């Protein structure tokens, strides 16, 4: 290493908002490597080629200053130009607008509106169904049907679109907002036997295949074994948000005394709110 080169800090090194960015970096994303909501922001940043810093937060041991960035204590949080933005869809939309090239939304207002309809359906209906089946932990017929119904709704959208992606001919904002949970479908099969490839949804199955070949998805992907390990603990109320940190294995933890909700930000009660 020459005197001009700087070591790249680990994403597991806890850096405060005032910690400087490396030369060329323009923003910081507070994340958690297994969180699909935070992955939305990481996908948009990668798709736009934004040079950024990633800092992973242990959601069971959040620093008190993190609540100054997001009063809910959740990821992602995007720091840019002295400000900060939170909530996964809002943070991703901010990156789309603050870094306008390449555009990931259609410029046609009607087409753009439908793109929002697609990922809002998945956010409001599909994601809760995903977590309900995960929480069951076995092929529960009712929860399986619920998830299939909402994946089938996405299939109907794609049939009408007659395009390979929700954005059209290329992956766009809507695709990246939906994708993180489909990356986790193999994990869901490991835990509940839910088999996406067995569904009568050829357009969605083809979309998944296209997305896996996308360099942005490959750049942001998470090792499948880590996802299964994380969610096996998560659904039992024993989340370890540091799995995968520097090759770290999951320790044995006591169950978290709170019910699973449709959030990946499950955390112990004492870390839910500011401590000071």
CA 109/CA 144 separation, integer angstroms: 35
Fold adopted by 109-220: Glutathione S-transferase Yfyf (Class Pi); Chain A, domain 2 (1.20.1050)
Residue 249 has pLDDT above 70, yes or no: no
Positions of CATH 1.20.1050.10 in the chain: 109-220
pLDDT tens by residue, 122-155: 999 999 999 999 999 999 999 999 999 999 999 9
Positions of CATH 3.40.30.10 in the chain: 9-102+251-276
Let me know: does 75 contact 26? Beta carbons within 8 Å.
Answer: no
- 65-73: average pLDDT: 95
- The DSSP result for 214-233, as a single string, is -HHHHHH---HHHHHHHHHH
- 10-32: average pLDDT: 96
| Nearest in space to 202 (alpha carbons), one of 147, 170, 158 | 158
Which CATH entry fits the domain spanning 9-102+251-276: 3.40.30.10, 3.30.420.40, 3.40.50.10490, 3.40.50.970? 3.40.30.10
- 209-235: average pLDDT: 95
Sign of CA dihedral 75, 153, 129, 214: negative
Residue 149: Cβ within 10 Å count: 12
Q: How confident is the model at residue 248 (pLDDT cuts 50, 70, 90)?
A: low
Q: How confident is the model at residue 4 (pLDDT cuts 50, 70, 90)?
A: low
Q: 181-190 b/e with 16+ CB inside 10 Å = b?
A: bbbbbbbbeb
Identify the H or E element spanning 31.
strand 27-31
- 44-53: average pLDDT: 98
* Residues involved in catalysis: 35
CA 32/CA 267 separation, integer angstroms: 12
- 249-261: average pLDDT: 43
Residue 238 has pLDDT above 90, yes or no: no
């Amino acid at each position: 290493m020459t005197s001009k080169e700087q070591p790249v800090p680990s994403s597991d090194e806890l850096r405060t908002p005032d910690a400087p960015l490396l030369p060329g970096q323009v923003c910081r994303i507070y994340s958690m490597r297994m969180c699909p909501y935070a992955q939305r922001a990481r996908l948009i940043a990668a798709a736009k080629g934004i040079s950024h810093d990633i800092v992973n937060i242990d959601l069971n041991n959040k620093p008190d200053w993190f609540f100054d960035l997001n009063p809910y204590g959740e990821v992602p949080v995007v720091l840019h130009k002295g400000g900060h933005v939170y909530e996964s869809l809002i943070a991703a939309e901010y990156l789309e607008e603050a870094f306008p090239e390449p555009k990931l939304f259609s410029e046609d207002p009607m087409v753009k509106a439908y793109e929002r309809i697609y990922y809002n359906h998945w956010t409001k209906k599909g994601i809760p169904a995903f977590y309900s089946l995960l929480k069951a932990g076995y092929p529960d017929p009712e929860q399986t049907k619920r998830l299939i119904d909402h994946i089938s709704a996405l299939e109907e959208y794609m049939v009408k679109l007659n395009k390979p992606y929700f954005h059209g001919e290329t992956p766009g904002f809507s695709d990246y907002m939906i994708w993180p949970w489909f990356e986790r479908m193999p994990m869901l099969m490991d835990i509940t036997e839910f088999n996406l490839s067995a569904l009568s949804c050829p357009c969605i199955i083809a979309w998944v295949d296209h997305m896996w070949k996308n360099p942005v998805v490959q750049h942001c992907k998470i090792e499948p074994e880590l996802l299964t390990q994380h969610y096996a603990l998560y659904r039992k109320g024993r989340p370890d948000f540091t799995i995968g940190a520097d090759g770290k294995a999951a320790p044995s933890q006591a169950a978290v005394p709170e019910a699973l909700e449709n959030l990946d930000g499950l955390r112990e009660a004492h870390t839910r709110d500011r401590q000071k």
